[in-house]
Amino acid sequence: MRRSGPVATLLAISVALGLLSSCTSSHKPSDAPSTPRLQVVGTPTPPSPGQTKVKVVVTGGNAQYALGHTAYITDSGFAPVHLVAGVNKAVVFWNATAESQQIRFLNYGVPIASPVIPPGGSWAFKPNLTLSLIYVLVGRPSPKGYLQIAPIQPLPTGT
């Protein structure tokens, strides 16, 4: 089944931008500012009183690919597996498992990880630059999740 419409178009554009950005020259002029640093900050949000399970609802796509700012940690990995999110927007990871979880980002160049996220809780961070991240759960190197941060513009209303 082939998807069409604004979400599919934005996903295709975002993937293309990600591919193009990975193909650019790594030459850096001597007067260029230092490389921006991704700050992984934030305190996990505990679950609501009486909450036992987080309902996984992927909007803006499906369990494999989505455009949005919410990802879920599930018993089988991450949903969506590939998330395209905007720069300077909080990306929220919800723990929909019965165990505490911690996310480790693999390809930033320096080791970075989230705090431990309790069952039913969430953790958010706000990337301030365009990048692509691969992440796993600490102690569970597979499956992987993929996060593409791009300069996304909101859809016009009525589409």
Tell me which of 129 and 34 has the higher pLDDT. Answer: 129
Distance CA(67)–CA(98), nearest Å, equals: 26
Least confident window among 9-13, 80-84, 92-96, 99-103: 9-13
Tokens read off for 4: 């069409």
The separation between CA 47 and the C-alpha centre of its own chain, rounded to angstroms, equals 20
What share of the chain has pLDDT > 70, as a percent?
Answer: 59
Q: CB–CB of 127/143 below 8 Å?
A: no
3-state SS of 11-35?
Answer: HHHHHHHHHHHHCCCCCCCCCCCCC
**C-alpha pair distances (Å), 125 with each of 28, 54, 62, 90, 122:** 28, 19, 22, 5, 10
Phi then psi for residue 22, to 5 deg, are -75, -15
Tell me which of 152 and 16 has the higher pLDDT. Answer: 152
**Confidence label for 54 from pLDDT (cuts 50, 70 and 90):** low
Report yes or no on whether pTM surpasses 0.75.
no
First to last CA, the chain: 21
Asked if the model's pLDDT at residue 34 lies above 60, the reply is no
Asked if the model's pLDDT at residue 27 lies above 80, the reply is no
Distance CA(10)–CA(147), nearest Å, equals: 15
Phi then psi for residue 98, to 5 deg, are -90, 0
Q: Which domains does the chain have, with CATH numbers?
A: 6-21+53-150 (2.60.40.420)
